Chains A and B, each alone.
Chain A
Amino acid sequence: MEQAFFLLIATVAVGAGIMVVAARNPTHSAMALMVCFVQVAAVFLLLRSPILAVIQMFVYVGAVIILFLFVIMMLDVQAEARTRFLKKGVTVTIVGICLLGGEMLALLLGSDLLFAQSANLLPDQMSSVGGLGEILFTEYLFPFEVASVILLTALVGAIILTRQAEEGR
């Protein structure tokens, strides 16, 4: 049952991911990416980490995609949709991407050692948010604070970047 759910979610996620890359209109790409992010949140639920699924929904679907849609709304995407779709000289790039994908899949499918090792463990004992918070606020307290400073810096940086562009006109 869980495998069927996973296959459904993975199919929709990969299809939406291909839509992101293949869609001509950036608005369609952003919407497809939103679908993909919801599927990834469902994958997190399958992995018994509900807090990450909630963060995924809030941050990615609620903030990042909406930010992208606002920027797309501010810019003129209709002119962009009419221009050339791909870069020049794509054959080498496509061959490289296919090689990379084949290599990754071959490594994953060929690594019996990793999966033999992980099959012995009991993964069903860590669905609690409490244990996660305990580690996050004790062992990882300093990186947590650093992340908050980085977020503040990014906030100030984004405001300064857009304001300077306005004054320069």
Chain B
Amino acid sequence: MVPLSWYLILGAVLFVVGIAGVLLRRNVLIVLLSLELMLNSVNINLVAFSHFFGDFRGQIIAIFVIAITAAEVAVALGVLVALVRNKATLEVDEVTIMKG
């Protein structure tokens, strides 16, 4: 029997690794991949609580998170392809069209 805290610590560690990827790397592809990693770590938390509290709702929220992630990846990669065609760069620092 694995204690609940182990799952939560695994989720927290993966989340921090994902944040490091989003904040430190310059390649927009790596930023998107790290975003996926963060969403997955949140899913681990949801399913762990669902299992340990005996409630299905955590798993249902995790299923919704997965569905929305699929939509997000499709749109994000479409934006990325359009961006690379217009700008020919993959670096997040050089995408300043909207003065962000």
Contact = CB atoms under 8 A, between A and B. Distances in A.
A69 B92 CA distance: 19
A58 B51 CA distance: 22
Contacts of B1: 2-3
Contacts of A97: 16, 19-20, 23-24
- Contact size class for B? 35 or more
Interface in B19-65: 19-21, 23-27, 29-30, 32-34, 36-37, 40, 43-44, 47-48, 50-54, 56-57, 59-60, 62-64
A64 B19 CA distance: 19
B40 A161 contact: no
22 contacts: A2-B1, A14-B13, A18-B17, A33-B33, A40-B44, A43-B44, A46-B2, A47-B51, A67-B77, A80-B91, A85-B26, A97-B19, A105-B9, A105-B13, A123-B51, A123-B52, A126-B54, A126-B56, A143-B64, A151-B70, A159-B78, A166-B85
